[in-house]
Amino acid sequence: MNDSIKKMLRLIEKDLMITEVSYETFQKKKTLIVDAVFSPAPHTCRNCGSTVVDGNGKVIVVKNGKKETIVRFEQYNHMPLVMRLKKQRYTCKNCRTHWTAQSYFV
- For residue 102, the model assigns a pLDDT of 85
pLDDT of the residue at 86? 96
Q: What per-residue confidence (pLDDT) applies to 106?
A: 64
Q: Which residues contact 2 (CB under 8 A, 6 or more apart)?
A: 17, 18
Contacts of 54 (CB under 8 A, 6+ apart): 60
pLDDT tens sequence across 12-25: 888 899 999 999 99
Question: What pLDDT is stored for residue 67 in this prediction?
Answer: 95
Burial of 7: CB neighbours in 10 Å, binned 0-12, 13-18, 19+ = exposed
Task: Provide the pLDDT for residue 31.
Answer: 93
**What is the tens place of the pLDDT at every residue in 45-93?**
888 888 888 778 888 888 999 999 999 998 888 899 999 999 999 999 8
